[in-house]
Structure 1
Protein backbone atom coordinates (compact mmCIF):
# COMPACT_ATOMS: atom_id res chain seq x y z
CA UNK A 1 0.00 0.00 0.00
CA UNK A 2 1.07 3.57 -0.68
CA UNK A 3 0.50 6.64 1.43
CA UNK A 4 -1.38 8.77 -1.08
CA UNK A 5 -0.63 11.97 0.84
CA UNK A 6 3.06 11.49 0.06
CA UNK A 7 2.51 10.95 -3.67
CA UNK A 8 3.47 13.94 -5.82
CA UNK A 9 0.71 13.10 -8.32
CA UNK A 10 -1.90 13.31 -5.58
CA UNK A 11 -0.51 16.62 -4.26
CA UNK A 12 -0.42 18.12 -7.76
CA UNK A 13 -3.94 16.99 -8.60
CA UNK A 14 -5.33 18.38 -5.33
CA UNK A 15 -3.62 21.71 -6.02
CA UNK A 16 -5.12 21.72 -9.52
CA UNK A 17 -8.72 21.45 -8.26
CA UNK A 18 -9.13 25.08 -7.12
CA UNK A 19 -7.77 26.29 -10.47
CA UNK A 20 -10.57 24.53 -12.32
CA UNK A 21 -13.20 25.62 -9.79
CA UNK A 22 -12.07 29.26 -10.14
CA UNK A 23 -12.07 29.04 -13.94
CA UNK A 24 -15.60 27.59 -14.05
CA UNK A 25 -16.93 30.33 -11.75
CA UNK A 26 -16.71 32.64 -14.76
CA UNK A 27 -18.69 30.33 -17.07
CA UNK A 28 -22.26 31.27 -17.98
CA UNK A 29 -24.90 30.31 -15.41
CA UNK A 30 -26.64 28.17 -18.04
CA UNK A 31 -23.61 25.82 -17.88
CA UNK A 32 -24.07 25.08 -14.16
CA UNK A 33 -25.36 21.59 -14.94
CA UNK A 34 -23.23 21.20 -18.08
CA UNK A 35 -19.56 21.98 -18.42
CA UNK A 36 -19.20 23.49 -14.94
CA UNK A 37 -20.50 20.36 -13.27
CA UNK A 38 -18.56 18.01 -15.55
CA UNK A 39 -15.24 19.82 -15.13
CA UNK A 40 -15.62 20.11 -11.38
CA UNK A 41 -16.52 16.41 -10.99
CA UNK A 42 -13.70 15.31 -13.29
CA UNK A 43 -11.05 17.38 -11.50
CA UNK A 44 -12.04 16.00 -8.08
CA UNK A 45 -12.05 12.50 -9.52
CA UNK A 46 -8.31 12.60 -10.24
CA UNK A 47 -6.98 12.86 -6.66
CA UNK A 48 -9.91 10.80 -5.38
CA UNK A 49 -9.01 7.85 -7.61
CA UNK A 50 -5.36 8.13 -6.63
CA UNK A 51 -6.29 8.10 -2.94
CA UNK A 52 -8.74 5.22 -3.30
CA UNK A 53 -6.35 3.15 -5.37
CA UNK A 54 -3.52 3.63 -2.90
CA UNK A 55 -5.51 1.62 -0.35
CA UNK A 56 -5.75 -1.44 -2.58
CA UNK A 57 -3.88 -4.58 -1.63
CA UNK A 58 -1.64 -4.66 -4.70
CA UNK A 59 -0.04 -2.39 -7.25
CA UNK A 60 -1.98 -4.28 -9.93
CA UNK A 61 -5.23 -3.06 -8.38
CA UNK A 62 -3.78 0.41 -7.80
CA UNK A 63 -3.05 0.65 -11.53
CA UNK A 64 -6.76 0.34 -12.30
CA UNK A 65 -7.51 3.43 -10.21
CA UNK A 66 -4.58 5.28 -11.76
CA UNK A 67 -6.08 4.49 -15.17
CA UNK A 68 -9.36 5.98 -13.95
CA UNK A 69 -7.51 9.09 -12.76
CA UNK A 70 -5.83 9.32 -16.16
CA UNK A 71 -9.20 9.01 -17.87
CA UNK A 72 -10.50 11.92 -15.80
CA UNK A 73 -7.44 13.94 -16.87
CA UNK A 74 -8.32 13.33 -20.51
CA UNK A 75 -11.91 14.37 -19.78
CA UNK A 76 -10.61 17.62 -18.28
CA UNK A 77 -8.34 18.22 -21.24
CA UNK A 78 -11.26 17.72 -23.66
CA UNK A 79 -13.68 19.84 -21.63
CA UNK A 80 -11.16 22.67 -21.44
CA UNK A 81 -10.86 22.65 -25.22
CA UNK A 82 -14.65 22.69 -25.62
CA UNK A 83 -14.82 25.57 -23.11
CA UNK A 84 -12.27 27.50 -25.14
CA UNK A 85 -14.12 26.83 -28.40
CA UNK A 86 -17.39 28.03 -26.86
CA UNK A 87 -15.74 31.22 -25.62
CA UNK A 88 -16.21 30.39 -21.93
CA UNK A 89 -12.47 30.24 -21.26
CA UNK A 90 -9.94 32.87 -22.36
CA UNK A 91 -6.94 31.60 -24.30
CA UNK A 92 -4.44 32.44 -21.54
CA UNK A 93 -6.48 30.49 -18.96
CA UNK A 94 -6.80 27.58 -21.37
CA UNK A 95 -3.05 27.56 -21.98
CA UNK A 96 -2.20 27.56 -18.27
CA UNK A 97 -4.81 24.93 -17.31
CA UNK A 98 -3.86 22.71 -20.26
CA UNK A 99 -0.20 22.93 -19.39
CA UNK A 100 -0.91 21.90 -15.80
CA UNK A 101 -3.08 18.92 -16.76
CA UNK A 102 -0.48 17.71 -19.25
CA UNK A 103 2.11 17.68 -16.47
CA UNK A 104 -0.25 15.69 -14.25
CA UNK A 105 -0.91 13.25 -17.11
CA UNK A 106 2.81 12.72 -17.65
CA UNK A 107 3.44 12.17 -13.95
CA UNK A 108 0.59 9.66 -13.65
CA UNK A 109 1.90 7.83 -16.73
CA UNK A 110 5.41 7.73 -15.29
CA UNK A 111 4.12 6.39 -11.98
CA UNK A 112 2.04 3.76 -13.77
CA UNK A 113 5.10 2.68 -15.75
CA UNK A 114 7.11 2.43 -12.54
CA UNK A 115 4.45 0.30 -10.85
CA UNK A 116 4.06 -1.92 -13.92
CA UNK A 117 7.76 -2.71 -13.99
CA UNK A 118 7.58 -3.96 -10.42
CA UNK A 119 4.68 -6.40 -10.97
Structure 2
Protein backbone atom coordinates (compact mmCIF):
# COMPACT_ATOMS: atom_id res chain seq x y z
CA UNK A 1 0.00 0.00 0.00
CA UNK A 2 1.09 3.57 -0.60
CA UNK A 3 1.29 4.54 3.08
CA UNK A 4 4.07 1.98 3.60
CA UNK A 5 6.33 4.04 1.35
CA UNK A 6 5.98 7.14 3.53
CA UNK A 7 9.01 7.93 5.69
CA UNK A 8 6.65 9.35 8.32
CA UNK A 9 4.79 6.02 8.46
CA UNK A 10 8.05 4.04 8.70
CA UNK A 11 9.42 6.25 11.48
CA UNK A 12 6.13 6.21 13.37
CA UNK A 13 6.17 2.40 13.21
CA UNK A 14 9.63 2.52 14.82
CA UNK A 15 8.13 4.77 17.45
CA UNK A 16 5.35 2.26 18.17
CA UNK A 17 7.91 -0.50 18.73
CA UNK A 18 10.01 1.70 20.99
CA UNK A 19 6.98 2.72 23.09
CA UNK A 20 5.87 -0.89 23.51
CA UNK A 21 9.38 -1.84 24.61
CA UNK A 22 9.62 1.10 27.01
CA UNK A 23 6.24 0.53 28.64
CA UNK A 24 6.95 -3.15 29.30
CA UNK A 25 9.00 -2.00 32.28
CA UNK A 26 6.33 0.37 33.65
CA UNK A 27 4.72 -0.62 36.97
CA UNK A 28 1.89 -3.15 36.79
CA UNK A 29 -0.57 -0.64 38.26
CA UNK A 30 -0.06 1.49 35.12
CA UNK A 31 -1.12 -1.38 32.82
CA UNK A 32 -4.54 0.19 32.23
CA UNK A 33 -3.36 3.74 32.82
CA UNK A 34 -0.32 5.41 31.36
CA UNK A 35 0.96 2.27 29.61
CA UNK A 36 -2.28 1.82 27.70
CA UNK A 37 -2.57 5.54 26.94
CA UNK A 38 0.95 5.69 25.51
CA UNK A 39 0.49 2.58 23.42
CA UNK A 40 -2.81 3.80 22.01
CA UNK A 41 -1.38 7.22 21.13
CA UNK A 42 1.64 5.62 19.47
CA UNK A 43 -0.46 3.18 17.44
CA UNK A 44 -2.76 6.00 16.38
CA UNK A 45 0.01 7.80 14.49
CA UNK A 46 0.81 5.27 11.73
CA UNK A 47 -2.80 4.08 11.74
CA UNK A 48 -4.09 7.54 10.88
CA UNK A 49 -1.44 7.98 8.21
CA UNK A 50 -2.56 4.70 6.65
CA UNK A 51 -6.24 5.61 6.85
CA UNK A 52 -5.65 9.05 5.38
CA UNK A 53 -3.60 7.62 2.52
CA UNK A 54 -6.45 5.24 1.70
CA UNK A 55 -8.99 8.06 1.43
CA UNK A 56 -9.79 10.13 -1.60
CA UNK A 57 -8.89 13.77 -1.61
CA UNK A 58 -6.43 16.17 -0.09
CA UNK A 59 -8.82 17.49 2.52
CA UNK A 60 -9.46 14.06 4.01
CA UNK A 61 -5.78 13.13 3.97
CA UNK A 62 -4.88 16.40 5.70
CA UNK A 63 -7.53 15.67 8.34
CA UNK A 64 -5.95 12.30 9.22
CA UNK A 65 -2.44 13.77 9.22
CA UNK A 66 -3.69 16.30 11.78
CA UNK A 67 -5.12 13.51 13.94
CA UNK A 68 -1.71 11.81 13.80
CA UNK A 69 -0.09 15.09 14.88
CA UNK A 70 -2.45 15.31 17.83
CA UNK A 71 -1.65 11.75 18.87
CA UNK A 72 2.06 12.53 18.63
CA UNK A 73 1.61 15.54 20.93
CA UNK A 74 -0.28 13.34 23.40
CA UNK A 75 2.49 10.76 23.30
CA UNK A 76 5.17 13.40 23.87
CA UNK A 77 3.34 14.61 26.97
CA UNK A 78 2.77 11.08 28.25
CA UNK A 79 6.45 10.24 27.78
CA UNK A 80 7.38 13.26 29.88
CA UNK A 81 4.85 12.20 32.53
CA UNK A 82 6.45 8.75 32.62
CA UNK A 83 9.83 10.37 33.20
CA UNK A 84 8.43 12.72 35.84
CA UNK A 85 6.96 9.75 37.71
CA UNK A 86 10.30 7.93 37.57
CA UNK A 87 9.17 5.13 35.25
CA UNK A 88 11.98 5.88 32.83
CA UNK A 89 15.18 7.86 33.09
CA UNK A 90 16.53 8.76 29.68
CA UNK A 91 13.98 9.79 27.09
CA UNK A 92 16.43 11.63 24.82
CA UNK A 93 16.36 9.09 21.98
CA UNK A 94 12.57 8.77 22.04
CA UNK A 95 12.15 12.54 22.23
CA UNK A 96 14.37 12.93 19.16
CA UNK A 97 12.30 10.34 17.30
CA UNK A 98 9.11 12.17 18.28
CA UNK A 99 10.56 15.44 16.95
CA UNK A 100 11.61 13.73 13.72
CA UNK A 101 8.16 12.20 13.19
CA UNK A 102 6.57 15.55 14.05
CA UNK A 103 8.64 17.35 11.43
CA UNK A 104 7.69 14.74 8.86
CA UNK A 105 4.01 15.12 9.71
CA UNK A 106 4.26 18.90 9.36
CA UNK A 107 5.85 18.44 5.95
CA UNK A 108 3.11 16.03 4.86
CA UNK A 109 0.42 18.36 6.13
CA UNK A 110 1.87 21.32 4.24
CA UNK A 111 2.07 19.24 1.07
CA UNK A 112 -1.49 17.89 1.25
CA UNK A 113 -3.40 20.84 2.74
CA UNK A 114 -2.77 23.20 -0.18
Moved more, 8-17 or 45-54: 8-17
State the match for 2:80 in structure 1.
81
Structure 1's unaligned 5+ residue stretches are none
What value does the CA root-mean-square deviation take over the aligned residues? 1.1
Aligned counterparts of 2:49 and 2:36: Cα–Cα separation in 1:
21
Mapped pair 1:12 → 2:11: yes
State the match for 1:98 in structure 2.
95
Stretches (4+) displaced over 2 A = none
How many corresponding residue pairs?
A: 114
Displacement of 1:33 in angstroms is: 0.4
Displacement of 1:61 in angstroms is: 0.6
Mapped pair 1:31 → 2:34: no
State the match for 1:46 in structure 2.
45
Aligned counterparts of 2:43 and 2:112: Cα–Cα separation in 1:
23
